[in-house]
Structure 1
Amino acid sequence: MNDAPPPAHRLLILDDDPMIGQTIRRIAKMAGWDAEFTTEAELFFTQVQEWCPDIIAIDLIMPGQDGVQVMTELARRTCTAGIIITSGMGGRVLDAASRSASEHGLNILGVLPKPFSPAQLRNLLTTETPAELSSTMPAVNVPQRSSPSLKVADLQQALDQGQIQAFYQPKINCSNGALSGFEALARWRHPAFGFIAPDQFIMQAEAHHMIEKLTEQMAKTSLSWFAQFCQSPEIQSHSGINQGQPIKLSLNISALSIGDIALFEQIESYCQELKILPEQIIFELTETSAMEDPTASLDTLTRLRMKGFQLSLDDFGTGFSSMLQLVRLPFTEIKVDKSFVLTARQSQESRTVVKSIIDLGHSLGLVTTAEGIEDQETFIYLRENGCDLAQGYLIAHPMPAEDVANWIENSGIDALIGKKF
């Protein structure tokens, strides 16, 4: 029997101040970490490659190659380690650096302003490491970048053969954890390339006039599943679902589809055949979608609301004309852009923006939804500030239809209702 202790997590520190670097190293070692420290960027990158740290602490202010440049290079090397940003610069600079690194695809665990306390560092070190995070995430939900050899014919074949599936991500009521509905998301498992990132194949579908077919297929599949889900006796009697409000399904609409009256008429026909009320369907549009043809958007969206369909302005807060679109178009919901939600835990500015959007939505009589929630602290902040609905990995990853019932019965709604976040 092997009684050897498990290997310690590894922390690599890059800091131009040897005293601070050694202090971080000492605190980490006292917390049970294996820690190494360097002041030289060249040696640092060698250690990243050869030592494979779980977490990296990077000082922003460095001679020669600064911290932002270092993180850009780490992103280029597809580094998966958790990143802690340290600096004596002001909080806004730290937040900006954190957002920049996140947008490069790095896993930012938090920022550590100097001077810091040992407790602050230990709290960041107790954040789940990338390996622990990946072990809790179903591999089926992690999209992989497509091969450069992916062609338009591959997408056409995928549409013809039904390779693109509908996955469903739950939305819950922030106040009581009850299920509010689902967002239908397109997922493509290519037989040769594996999972293809949605932002790649959706853009390709838009560029090659296939987006209407993709949207129609997604709507048909999703609505068929949704009708069966809502009419299931087990679901209708579930205490965590039947809260006096109908469950809703959100469908994403491309900017290029706003003027496609036939597409919306087909979706309406599906709803009638399946006995789904228009009030149960939410069409999600980005600001870009609404701006593609303002007059056509106003006509189409007004008619959809007259029929009873719900409208959601997705990614609210990221565009220059979001406020204009919110006022001029008949939306019923706004979704706080996940870039603010993902950084709310460490950014006061992001928290301020999130609260302002929630307050604005309520003042206009709109449902407010936050997506991209990955930790309990952010969920608590949203709930305390009156956000209506929550969506994100903390609640559930997008899942195929066959997994929804199991999630509800074994790890979903009941657990969320009774959970003390």
Structure 2
Amino acid sequence: MEDVAVRRADADTGRPVVPEPTGLRRLRIIVVLGALIALGPLTIDMYLPALPSIGSDLAAPEATVQLTLTGTLVGLGLGQLFIGPFSDVVGRRLPLILGTGLHVLASLACLVAPSIAVLGALRVVQGVGAAAAMVVALAVVGDLFTGRAAATALSRLFLVMGIAPILAPTLGGAVLLSSSWRGVFGVLAGLGVVLLAVAVLALPESLPAERRQPAHFRPVLRTYGKLLSDGPFVLLLVVAALAMSALFSYVSGSSFVLQEQFGLDQQSFALVFGAGAVSLIGASQLNVVLLKRFTPLRIVITALVAATAAAGLLTALAVTGTGGLLGFLLPLWAVLGSMGFVMPNAPALALNRHGEAAGTASALLGACQFGLGALIAPLVGVLGNDGPAMAIIMTAGAAVALVALGAVLRLGNRTVAAA
């Protein structure tokens, strides 16, 4: 018999007592969720080494090519707003299967896109498909875990998911050695098929019928209204979204900064990009250890202070051109590492407040994160697609996130303060 720990009913939400997965069952669920949630990062990152060649092939300027990344992030954000509530009504499996199938079809269409405009539109659809995997994975965590257990589960999830941004540019670079940028989308279609099989065969339903929301439009609006009227929840969404903005500024600008400003080739870029992902993932796993001694809130506060300081140093070095490539990478990796502590804990704090609507709450969280990312991606290009542009955006994101977290503390909310 599988070992389970009984979870108490939430005093605020009245959620029923349900068994919380432990042992091998917990490990299996996290591995499956990590594989599914990796579809988003793979979709975002795998074609990064090909951005300059896409521009050349389709006769598009750099800023326009970056809009294809923006399209993906828009799809990821908007898709979650619909898929999250849908999963609260029908359960988690059906939206996941339909969304992943849509991703496969969009990837095949990208393979033959005739222009940058068509490619950008298809990337929006591709993002909507990937959104299903991401929002359902977070919702399943909300269904099965609470409090520190949720933060720990998300940290483990980031470990599995983190393999994707490390491997994606490297895999994309390898595809480019024997194919054009179009081959990258063929590989993405194949990966989507594999993950669709995982969704069908390996993920059990985590939302029983008695906990599902009514299949009506007005209750969905009421649920969104309830979430948006919760000040601490909204501020925690802002913190989580701004933490992701640092990552998206890195994703959006890194291929141009590292390849064009610092002269790295596609393979060297993939290795350096992967090193940044290692910093992010390593921090998320150290977070599991720290959660045994510190609350998620305490960790987020400390990490945001460190991120703001490191981003400020990065900006100073980038603007003055001090330190060359190493002077740029070391503080950059420090910022990414700091965000590795924020990214599991801020969502866990937010989702813990509304476990009764985990799908909708996860959707709103994802929409905020990727919606802001959609704004950040072209902003790096508008500001110059160079090191200073990336650094300034990272600094602003970390500083504003710290201010937002301070506002949460000033509200004196017991649920957040005790977390």
Fold shared by both chains (TM-score > 0.5): no
Q: Which has the higher contact order (CA 8 A, sep 6+)?
A: 2
Q: Which has the higher strand share?
A: 1
TM-score (norm 2): 0.28
TM-score (norm 1): 0.28
Indicate the structure (1 or 2) with the bigger Cα radius of gyration. 1
Q: Which has the higher helix share?
A: 2
